[in-house]
Amino acid sequence: MDNTCGSILIVDDDPGFRELVSVLCARAGYACVEAGSREEALTEANRARPDAVLLDVMLGETSGLQVCRELRSAFGEQLPIIFLSGERADAHDRVAGLLLGADDYVTKPIEPDELLARVQRAVTRSTSSEDRSSNGNGTGLTPRERGVLTLLAQGLGTEQIAEQLYISPKTVSTHVQRMLAKLHLHSRAEAVAFAYREGLVEDVSAHAFVVSGRKRSARAQRHSSHGLSAGREQSPLV
């Protein structure tokens, strides 16, 4: 049985600082996972979704802002992200972090009680969101995954979904794989059927009919245009 207060992913390229925060959070009852780079952070987050992330703004050669964007894309708004910044962090960086979806900002050197209070609030919000999700349809899908599922139900392919959501096809495939794992399914067709059966997406039959009608209308218009052009070309010969 898990007796921890929640799981924290600590992302910082300073091993000493990571250890300090990890020990502090562990004493408060949290299970801590450390990452020193973007790659490690994304790997650990994908291995097991944390209840909150403590993310350094300046992460070696990578900006913490980019990592924040990628975590948001993968896990949605339910994942609390707290930025950790240097004592003289630029106001522009703080604003950019908040606009990208950071939930909070803590300046180094940290005040232990303040940090723990912010972590506790973030974890409480995270676990409450998961409970609401599980009490609903029991899927635990993130908003992004639900969006991908809805577009799948509308008959869109990977490339089309990527264009609709402004993400890469590779990211779409990643969302689909996570979605299938959460739903314990093996194919996209099964996921779409499950979505309709459980009412996770609206009935898009009307939408499909309209789209189909538009496509037929467009084809008819093209054919008519081609016929008219041919007629004009042939009229001197008649």
> DSSP letters of the chain?
---SSEEEEEE-S-HHHHHHHHHHHHHTTEEEEEESSHHHHHHHHHHS--SEEEEESEETTEEHHHHHHHHHHHH-TTS-EEEEE-TT--HHHHHHHHHTT--EEEESSP-HHHHHHHHHHHHHHHHHHHHHHHHHTS----HHHHHHHHHHHTT--HHHHHHHHTS-HHHHHHHHHHHHHHHT-SSHHHHHHHHHHHT-S---HHHHHHHHHHHHHHHHHHHHHHHHHHHHHHGGG-
- Is 219 inside a domain boundary? no
Q: Which residue range is the domain that position 44 belongs to?
A: 6-136
Determine the pLDDT at residue 100: 67
Could you tell me if 97 and 42 lie in one domain?
yes
CA distances for 79 relative to 50, 199, 210, angstroms? 8, 24, 36
Could you tell me if 75 and 21 lie in one domain?
yes
Q: How confident is the model at residue 166 (pLDDT cuts 50, 70, 90)?
A: confident
Summarize the confidence of residues 20-35 as an average pLDDT. Answer: 95
Count the domains in the chain: 2
Distance of alpha carbon 136 from alpha carbon 116, whole angstroms: 30
Summarize the confidence of residues 99-123 as an average pLDDT. Answer: 86
Structure tokens at 45: 């987050």
**60 Rama sector, left if φ>0, alpha if ψ -120 to 50, beta otherwise:** left
Determine the pLDDT at residue 3: 53
Contact criterion met (CB below 8 Å) for 8 and 32: yes
For the entire predicted model, the pTM comes to: 0.55
Distance of alpha carbon 57 from alpha carbon 66, whole angstroms: 9
- Is 211 inside a domain boundary? no
Residue 40: beta bridge partners? none
Domain boundary among 103, 136, 169: 136
Residue 205 scores a pLDDT above 70: no
Could you tell me if 18 and 109 lie in one domain?
yes
Is the previous residue joined to 236 through a cis bond, with omega within 30 degrees of 0? Answer: no
Residue 213 scores a pLDDT above 50: no
Could you tell me if 36 and 102 lie in one domain?
yes
- Is 18 inside a domain boundary? yes
Could you tell me if 83 and 170 lie in one domain?
no
Contact criterion met (CB below 8 Å) for 106 and 89: no
Could you tell me if 132 and 145 lie in one domain?
no
- Is 160 inside a domain boundary? yes
